[in-house]
Amino acid sequence: DQQVKQNSPSLSVQEGRISILNCDYTNSMFDYFLWYKKYPAEGPTFLISISSIKDKNEDGRFTVFLNKSAKHLSLHIVPSQPGDSAVYFCAAPDSTDKLIFGTGTRLQVFP
Amino acid sequence: DGGITQSPKYLFRKEGQNVTLSCEQNLNHDAMYWYRQDPGQGLRLIYYSQIVNDFQKGDIAEGYSVSREKKESFPLTVTSAQKNPTAFYLCASSIMGETQYFGPGTRLLVL
């Protein structure tokens, strides 16, 4: 049973436009969510997080929205840049602080 | 420079051979983790350790072993019992309950 799901394996967006990456979860006890960005053959890097007491967190071009009633979060990147092309993972820590990862969405930003 | 290092970057294993992947951190983090990434899949937890001399199995521990004799080191051994070892291995560390930070990864290939 996958507790964190990213149903879109890939997304292609034109440079300058908005990228929206989606993530759904099933465990209503999750109280903190993270987004990681990963380039090929490198470790993931932490991007942005959100606590369940908030519905939005913004950091520069990156904004994460949380809809607790729908158990859904999304990462918005605007404007998208070619350097944003990577795999994005959403994750949530379980009750023992182990991170539960989604399967990732590959974002490609083209000129 | 603070951070997490993994070595080697590439590792080749012969049939029936045990190999050990190194993970070192100088961030003074209590918790350390090993993940495996396969194409099209998210990160799957192999083992984790929340304190020195203690570690727990993750979701896919079979065929792997770890030790945590020092706070800064968490080596992973891929044993001959692991029948499908080819993957990208990622080590992470964190202060308990906080964001995990990842190393650069080790790609293991079978000859």
The verdict on whether omega for the bond into residue B8 sits within 30 degrees of 0, i.e. cis, is yes
The answer, for B97 touching chain A at a CB cutoff of 8 Å, is yes
Q: Give residue-wise pLDDT tens across range A28-85.
A: 999 999 999 999 889 999 999 999 999 999 999 999 999 999 999 999 999 999 999 9
B2, pLDDT greater than 70 = no
Distances in whole angstroms, Cα of residue B69 to Cα of each of A76, B23, B52, B101: 42, 12, 6, 20
- pLDDT, tens digit (0-9, with 9 covering 90-100), for B57-72: 999 999 999 999 999 9
Look at residue B59 and give its three-state secondary structure: coil
pLDDT at residue B111 in the model? 82
Interchain CB contact of A104 with B (< 8 Å): yes
Whether A49 sits inside 8 A of B99 (CB atoms) is yes
What pLDDT score was predicted for residue B78? 96
Quote the minimal CA–CA distance from A70 to chain B in Å: 22
pLDDT at B64: 97
**Cα separations in angstroms, B16 against A89, A103, B82:** 34, 30, 9
Contact status of B41 with chain A (Cβ, < 8 Å): yes
Which residues does A109 contact at the CB level (< 8 Å), separation at least 6?
A: A12, A13, A14, A15, A19, A80, A81, A82, A83, A84, A85
List of residues 6+ apart from B84 with CB closer than 8 A = none
Average pLDDT, chain B: 92
CB contacts of A103 in chain B (<8 Å) are 40-42
B33: which chain A residues are within 8 Å (Cβ-Cβ)?
A: 98-99
pLDDT in tens, B8-22: 999 998 888 999 999
